[in-house]
Amino acid sequence: MKIALVNLLAYGAALVGAVALIHPHRNVLEAPPPGFSYKLPKAFHPGSAFRASQASDNVQRLRGVRGTKTNVKSVAAVLGAHQRQVGGFGYENITTTTAYGTQYATEAVWDGIHTWLLLDTGSSDTWAVGSNFTCVDYAGEFLPQGACGFGPPGPEKFAYGYTQPEQHMFIQYGDGEIVSGPMGFSDIAFGNITVRQQEVCLANTTFWYGNNLTSGLMGLGFPSLTNAYLGSSDDHDPDNQIEYSPVFTSMVSQGQVPPVFSIAIDRNSSSGILAWGGIAPAVGADFSQIASLDLIITNLIELPVTAYEYSFYTVIPDGWLFDQNTNTKKYPYIVDSGTTLCYLPPPLAEAINLAFQPSAVYLWMYGAYFTSCNAVPPTISVKLGGIDFWLNPVDLIYRNMVDPLTGLCMTAIASGGSGPYILGDAFMQNAVVVFDVGEAKMRFIPRPFY
């Protein structure tokens, strides 16, 4: 059975009286993709007022790192894993792209050991490799540890011992990567905040495409997406899955910060800021315009707990504008720091890519669109809460992602199949993104081009 050890009460309030709506206004959301449905719930802290001046003193610098294989270890990876487990729902697995991309990492102190962890708003587990981990290839054959591309390993053991009863983490990502290992309790510090006795994993078996800096991943998602199982490392039966408190849930429940964090990614793809409990200081942020969107529940049908608990940071934009064209069809989008590109409905993605001069073409081996590296992008904005968030033309063509056969460069707009769709780093570089969990809102603050 699925045991809810921790739920959203950890944020300070229960989801009492959640409104069972598929969308906030009748007939505005297009039909959800197979295997998904959506709800609009009430806020966790309905009395807490958002303040744009709520700058955080708890900030950490992010470091952009280039992956050696794929830029998708996040929301898309989680969705791809669920899709395979249930035999597929007939929607395109967007994790099959082999696009090289930038990932963002932050430094943590794990039981006194300094380690770099990938930052991911689209998953919930926090893990690092132990010193004696086993690296394997896609077929499960043993490889030297260096083949997995990790940085220095985390601690050799958990400061507070293993979980009782025995638990392990197992994640199979959409691009084939696998991480598994025992779970226990450790102190993890992020800047000047220490999360005490946090449940985490020290991975002992991995199939991984690393960047030679990071040694694991920090998931900032909700408890419903955690991947812990009772028993030994060979038993991943969904009936034995255990829900536990992820890092940010614990940080809030321990009274360390208010229930909000924010991210500002720098345009040069080499750095950024993660702010705990408030607003990230960001160059050029226009606080006179703040878009506030309801955070909606994303129900994965094969995961019943997500029908009434939050899983992904999902919003419904007003629409898209490109050149003189407007598309106001309403679809849910996941806001994801772990994905480089923006994944849109196929007709919209194709129309925007055709508007490049010269037009971008779809290369099936990448699952992405490519155009001349000197192409002129269309003007593109996504409208959120009535505000246009313009994507800088600099962010729309990845000149360091070149197809060697054609010499063409990848665009930032990709097809997301039948969804759900993703607002990735190409969007996030143009805004301060505030994850206001207490108010059940996503806030977006524009950053002008610079």
Catalytically active residues are 120, 336
- The whole-angstrom separation of Cα 178 and Cα 258 is 33
Q: Considering only CA atoms, which of 221, 150, 200, 226 is closest in space to residue 437?
A: 221
Side chain identity at residue 436, one-letter code: D
Contact 150, 105 (CB under 8 A): no
CA angle 423, 425, 426 (to 5 degrees): 85
* 8 A C-beta contact, residue 176 and residue 99: no
Q: Dihedral sign, CA of 425, 426, 430, 435?
A: negative
Cβ neighbours for 1, distance < 8 A, ≥ 6 positions apart: 239
Which tokens hold the place of 172?
A: 């199979």
Q: Give the position of tokens 């989680």.
A: 78
Residues 45 and 259: beta-carbon distance below 8 Å: yes
Q: How many CB atoms lie within 10 A of CB 35?
A: 21
